[in-house]
């Protein structure tokens, strides 16, 4: 669970709600027609823009905003130094016993291919292809959220125009001006909140998550290839430390 995301969402919405309640009743900002126009219109427009498969899959990708656990770079370095030591002492097949202790499917796949005797270049090619498709899935999810962030304010503007037309067409009846004006203003409010407090921040977090995950997976590929080539653990550590900021490097051989 990502604490920063939870704190950000809670604080953003809490401050907006508190500001509303200070100025008046919260019920003034609840309007069913406005909700239908903004959220219904945005979902419909998104489904026109993308295949239904992509729209539904965004929920799967969006959960990475809250629940993804990315290995720290130092964890990866330590694990591959251990793998290299074991491989040099007991042989490459000894790594098979380590598979049950690794909870990263990508690392497990790389180790299994190494144990199975595949050439290091072939292992690297397979794993790099997997990274490419991972990045494409993340990019697709962030793109859908960015598109929704574009549609939300646009649907809010459409709702505003609807409200203004209703208001201007019934100026002779003062009792209808209030509800029509509420639709006109609240649709813009809903669209701005949904775009700027939900879609855009989530798309940004997904891009950041993708960068972090890609970096770790590239480290894993480098470690797998080095272990498959039987390189010295100290050399492997130095290679993997090139992915780590200098201040965060901790050598096991000092």
Instruction: Please provide the DSSP assignment of the chain as one string.
Output: --HHHHHHHHHHHHHHHHHHHHHS-GGGG--HHHHIIIIIHHHHHHHHHS-HHHHHHHHHHHTHHHH--PPPHHHHHHHHHHHHHHHHHH-GGGGGGGGGG---HHHHHHHHHHHTT--HHHHHHHHHHHHHHHHHHHHHHHHHHHHHHHHHHHHHHHHHHHHHHHHHHTTT-GGGHHHHHHHHHHHHHHHHHHIIIIIHHHHHHHHHHHHHHHHHHHHHHHHHHHHHTT--HHHHHHHHHTTS-GGG---S--
Mean pLDDT of the chain: 85
Could you give the number of structural domains in the chain?
2
Q: Which of 12-26, 108-122, 173-187 has the highest mean pLDDT?
A: 108-122
The confidence band for 250, taking pLDDT boundaries of 50, 70 and 90, is confident
pLDDT score of 196 more than 90: yes
> Do 215 and 121 share a structural domain?
yes
Q: What pLDDT is stored for residue 222 in this prediction? A: 93
pLDDT score of 254 more than 70: no
Q: For residue 253, is it within any domain?
A: no
> Do 121 and 11 share a structural domain?
no
Q: For residue 94, is it within any domain?
A: yes
Per-residue pLDDT tens digits for 88-101: 888 888 888 888 88
> Do 81 and 171 share a structural domain?
yes
Contact 234, 253 (CB under 8 A): yes
Q: What pLDDT is stored for residue 242 in this prediction? A: 87
Q: Which of 26-40, 46-60, 174-188 has the lowest mean pLDDT?
A: 174-188
> Do 10 and 111 share a structural domain?
no
Per-residue pLDDT tens digits for 23-43: 777 888 888 888 999 999 999
Q: What pLDDT is stored for residue 44 in this prediction? A: 93
Q: For residue 80, is it within any domain?
A: yes
Per-residue pLDDT tens digits for 99-119: 888 888 889 999 999 988 889
The confidence band for 193, taking pLDDT boundaries of 50, 70 and 90, is very high
> Do 149 and 176 share a structural domain?
yes
Domain containing 154 equals: 31-248
User: Between residues 145 and 67, which one has the greater pLDDT?
Assistant: 145
Q: What pLDDT is stored for residue 124 in this prediction? A: 92
Q: For residue 182, is it within any domain?
A: yes
CA distances from 78 to 53, 65, 70, 155 (A): 39, 27, 15, 51
> Do 235 and 217 share a structural domain?
yes
The confidence band for 126, taking pLDDT boundaries of 50, 70 and 90, is very high
């Amino acid at each position: 669970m990502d604490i920063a995301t939870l704190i950000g969402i809670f604080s953003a919405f809490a401050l907006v709600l508190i500001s509303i309640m200070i100025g008046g009743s919260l019920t003034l900002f609840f309007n069913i027609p406005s909700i239908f126009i903004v959220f219904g219109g945005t979902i419909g427009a998104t489904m026109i823009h993308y295949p239904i498969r992509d729209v539904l899959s965004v929920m799967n990708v969006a959960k990475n905003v809250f629940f993804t656990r990315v290995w720290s770079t130092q964890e990866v370095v330590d694990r591959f130094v251990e793998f290299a030591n074991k491989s040099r002492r007991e042989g490459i097949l000894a790594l098979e016993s380590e598979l049950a202790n690794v909870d990263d499917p990508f690392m497990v796949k790389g180790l299994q291919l190494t144990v199975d005797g595949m050439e290091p270049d072939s292992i690297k090619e397979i794993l790099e292809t997997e990274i490419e498709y991972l990045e494409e899935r993340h990019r697709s999810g962030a793109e859908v959220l960015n598109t929704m962030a574009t549609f939300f304010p646009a649907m809010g503007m459409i709702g505003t125009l609807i409200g203004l037309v209703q208001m201007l067409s019934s100026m002779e009846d003062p009792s209808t001006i209030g509800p029509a004006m509420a639709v006109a203003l609240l649709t813009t409010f809903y669209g701005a909140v949904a775009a700027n407090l939900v879609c855009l921040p989530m798309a940004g977090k997904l891009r950041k998550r993708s960068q972090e995950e890609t970096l770790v997976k590239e480290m894993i590929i480098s470690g797998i290839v080095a272990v498959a080539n039987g390189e010295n653990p100290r050399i492997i550590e130095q290679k993997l430390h090139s992915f780590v900021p200098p201040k965060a490097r901790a050598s096991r051989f000092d």
